[in-house]
Amino acid sequence: MRPTGRRHGAPLVALWTAVAALPLPAGCGDGPDSDCATVTTVWEGDAEAFFATYCATCHSQSLAGDDRQDAPVSVNFDSYSDIVGVGPAYVRAQIEGPMPPAGDPQPGDGERARIIDWLDCGAPER
């Protein structure tokens, strides 16, 4: 029987599910720190709030000049395609490192770890 209605994002979900289901080699140091099968974070209605709160206050296309607080004009976090464009691994390195800059509102350790896990595990959109 054919499902009716829009198959909203189904092929992508199937792909991520397949990737998440791949067994990780035990003891292999270059895989994600976490078990991606247990990571439920997605962009839509979830990780996007983190980026809006902690990143887009400087990194947003809607900001110009001094309002960007020196954030490079080419690095924005308004949308999922911005994450893909900058590159999840690069975004991860910045969140693990200097971003958000000291002195600006910081996410808690748990929230930071949750977003790093999401980036490590393919950063699914929905």
SS3 15: helix
Is 55 among the residues that bind ligand HEC (CB under 6 A)? Answer: yes
Is 95 among the residues that bind ligand HEC (CB under 6 A)? Answer: yes
Is 31 among the residues that bind ligand HEC (CB under 6 A)? Answer: no
CA-CA-CA-CA dihedral for 96, 93, 19, 56, to nearest 10: 80
Taking a C-beta distance cutoff of 8 angstroms, is the pair 39, 115 a contact? no
Phi and psi torsions of 33, nearest 5°: -65, -30
> Comparing C-alpha atoms, which of 61, 122, 64, 72 is closest to residue 92?
122
Tell me how far, at minimum, the Cβ of 119 lies from ligand HEC, in Å.
9
Tell me how far, at minimum, the Cβ of 93 lies from ligand HEC, in Å.
8
SS3 78: coil
Of 13 and 86, nearer to ligand HEC (C-beta) is 86
Is 72 among the residues that bind ligand HEC (CB under 6 A)? Answer: yes
Of 17 and 61, nearer to ligand HEC (C-beta) is 61
Which residues make up the interface to ligand HEC (CB under 6 A)? 54-55, 57-59, 69-72, 75, 86, 90-91, 94-95, 98-101, 104
